[in-house]
Amino acid sequence: MTHGIRPYWQNFIGGEWVDGGDGGRITVTDPATGQPIAEVARGTPADIDRAVASARACFNSRLLRDMRPHRRGDLMLAVARELDACVEEIALLECHDNGKTLAAGRAEVALTQRYLTYYAGLADKLEGRQIPLGDGYIDYTLHEPYGVSAQIVPWNGPLPVGARSIACAIITGNTVVLKSPEDSPLSLFVLAEACQRAGLPAGAVNIVCGYGHDAGAALAAHRDIDQIVFTGSVATGQSVLRAAVDRVVPCVMELGGKSGAIVYADADLDRTAASAVRGIFNHAGQICSAGSRLIVHRSIHDDLMAKVHKLAAQRSVGPGIEACDMGPLINARQLDRVEALCRVGVDEGATLLMGGARVPGMPGHFMAPTIFTNVRPDMRIAQEEFFGPVLVVLPFDTPEEAIAIANGTDYGLAAGVYTRDLKLAHWTADRLVAGQIYVNEWWAGGIETPFGGMKRSGYGREKGQEALLGYVQTKNVAIRL
Instruction: Please identify every residue annotated as catalytic.
Output: 254, 288
Q: Which of 179, 258, 297, 365 binds ligand NAD (CB under 6 A)?
A: 179
* Closest CB to ligand NAD among residues 185, 377: 185
Q: What DSSP letter does each residue of 413-466 carry, written as one string?
A: SEEEEE-S-HHHHHHHHHH--SSEEEESSTT-S-TTS-B--SGGGEES-BSTGG
How far are the Cα atoms of 174, 320, 406, 453, 456 from residue 412, in angstroms, in the given order? 29, 30, 9, 6, 7
CA 115/CA 13 separation, integer angstroms: 23
Task: Say whether residue 239 binds ligand NAD (CB under 6 A).
Answer: yes
Query: Per CB under 6 A, does 94 bind ligand NAD?
Result: no
Q: Interface with ligand NAD includes 387 (CB under 6 A)?
A: yes
Residue 414 DSSP symbol:
E
Site for ligand NAD (CB under 6 A): how many residues? 28
Site for ligand NAD in 247-266 (CB under 6 A): 254-257
Helix or strand or coil: residue 376? coil
**112 interacts with ligand NAD by CB under 6 A:** no
| Least Cβ distance, residue 457 to ligand NAD (angstroms) | 6
Q: Closest approach of Cβ 385 to ligand NAD, in Å?
A: 6
320 binds ligand NAD (CB under 6 A): no
Q: Which of 212, 285, 345, 412 binds ligand NAD (CB under 6 A)?
A: 212
Question: Which residue from 37, 38, 40, 152 is in contact with ligand NAD, where contact means CB under 6 A?
Answer: 152
Query: With CB under 6 A as the contact rule, which of the stretches 169-177, 198-206, 214-222, 390-398 interacts with ligand NAD?
Result: 214-222
31 binds ligand NAD (CB under 6 A): no
**CA torsion angle 272 277 282 286 (round to 10):** 110
Could you tell me where the DSSP H helices lie in 127-233? 158-171, 186-197, 217-220
Distances (CA, A) of 123 to 10, 98, 251, 471: 30, 32, 21, 12
Confirm or reject binding of residue 242 to ligand NAD (CB under 6 A).
no
Interface with ligand NAD, residue 155, by CB under 6 A: yes
Q: Does 185 bind ligand NAD (CB under 6 A)?
A: no
Closest CA to 146 of 63, 49, 228: 228
Given the complex with ligand NAD, which of 152 and 261 has the nearer CB atom?
A: 152
- The radius of gyration of the chain from alpha carbons, rounded to an integer in Å, stands at 23
Which of 396, 371, 408 is CA-nearest to residue 276?
371
Q: For binding to ligand NAD (CB under 6 A), which residues are involved?
A: 152-156, 179, 181-182, 212-213, 216-217, 220, 231-233, 236, 239-240, 254-257, 288, 385, 387, 413, 453
